[in-house]
Amino acid sequence: MAINSAILALLLLTANGGIVSTNGTYCLVGMNADAPLELRIGDSQVQMSYKGQIAMTTTYQLINGRYHFSGNLLPPGMPAPGLPVATGSTGVTVAADGQSLVFDWLDGQESMFIYGESGTCSTVPYDMSSGLPQFVNQTHVDTQELNEISMFRSGYSHAYDDSIESCRSLKHYYSRGPGHTNLVNFYAPVSARIVMWEDNLFGNQFLLQPIDPNYKAFAFKIFHVELDSSLSVGAVVAAGDVIGTDVLNSGEATSTDFATYVYTTVGGQKTQKLVSVFDLYTTGVMANDFAGFQRGDFVFSKAYRDANPFSCTGETFNHNAFNPLDPFGDANFVSL
């Protein structure tokens, strides 16, 4: 989704009474796009680049301590799942040491905060030729609180796609079932940094990037969550730390969605691919939290879904997406 004519303001922190130098390049690691997005701050200009190509160059104006500029923030056609259209206030807050920043925008209905690190984007695509690593040693919610979990590539709710697969739900819904009025804790599945937080009309969601350099190509997006008040974008959490709770809708707890991204290479092209977290859970998690189940019990294979495709109009399934069974008679959910 493109953001045209966005208004971007740079709010520079001060140290020892002076303006902090923010000149340099920052990688917006919380962007979760299909390619690195970089912000370059110069003495008089700001540049945004995507896939190594400059998307925008503009001068900025200092107004009451804020640096404002306008232009096409992102190039047309850039895939950015969940990205709101910025029609209001937009800005960047640079840390006092100049080593990181938080990019934000607010439009009255939606807000998003994205973490960036000083330097060019350097995440190496994960080589999936030997399969996926099983490094996630914590579920993000106590499975004893759950009633069911949706299948990866199901036909439930709405399509959630990547650049490789379309018209299927490439994430999991963790449902407590109806009638629950109490909140339960959500936990960090791995030691990670919070690199994105968004509040929109459909609820809150945030993105976690593992701290372990071996797995920085992965990211976990958790939907419909109330982030703990002690946390903000840029914070680091340890595996198992409480990061928030589920939320109430009309007095009842909502289900939470969980999407897993891996920055990889497909067909010679670098891209963000959606995978099932069940392929990343350790054997300990499977044995302790999903005893009696196999990883594949929660996943429709790509080959099966390609042979049994759904029909969509945009993100909307052209079938009743809230039926227990999909059009092929398959259950959308696994009962625990």
Give tens-digit pLDDT for 217-261. Answer: 999 999 988 899 999 999 999 999 999 998 877 777 788 999 999
Q: Which of 261, 219, 226, 218 is nearest to 242 (CA)?
A: 226
Query: How far is it, in rounded angstroms, from Cα 3 to Cα 80?
Result: 10
Residue 85: per-residue pLDDT: 41
Residue 315: per-residue pLDDT: 95
- Which string of DSSP letters, residue by residue, matches 280-311? TB-HHHHHHHSTT--GGGGB--HHHHHHS---
Q: Is 87's pLDDT higher than 60?
A: no
Highest mean pLDDT among 68-77, 169-178, 202-211: 169-178
- Flag the least confident range among 89-98, 161-170, 207-216, 248-257: 89-98
Residue 6: per-residue pLDDT: 34
Domain map (residue ranges) of the chain? 6-118, 128-335
Scanning the structure block, which residue is given the tokens 């009696």? Answer: 292
CATH architecture of 128-335: Distorted Sandwich (2.70)
Q: pLDDT tens digits for 97-144?
A: 778 887 776 666 678 888 989 998 888 899 999 999 999 999 999 999
Are residues 16 and 31 in contact, defined by beta-carbon separation less than 8 angstroms? no
Q: Which tops the pLDDT comparison, 171 or 30? A: 171
HEC letters along 128-173: HHHCCCCCECCCCCCHHHCCEEECECECCCCCECCCCCCCCECCEE
Sign of CA dihedral 224, 226, 231, 233: positive
Q: Is 60's pLDDT higher than 60?
A: yes
Q: Is 21's pLDDT higher than 80?
A: no
Query: How far is it, in rounded angstroms, from Cα 232 to Cα 72?
Result: 27
Average pLDDT of the chain? 83
Please report, rounded to a whole number, the percentage of residues in the chain having pLDDT higher than 90. Answer: 54
Query: How far is it, in rounded angstroms, from Cα 213 to Cα 315?
Result: 34
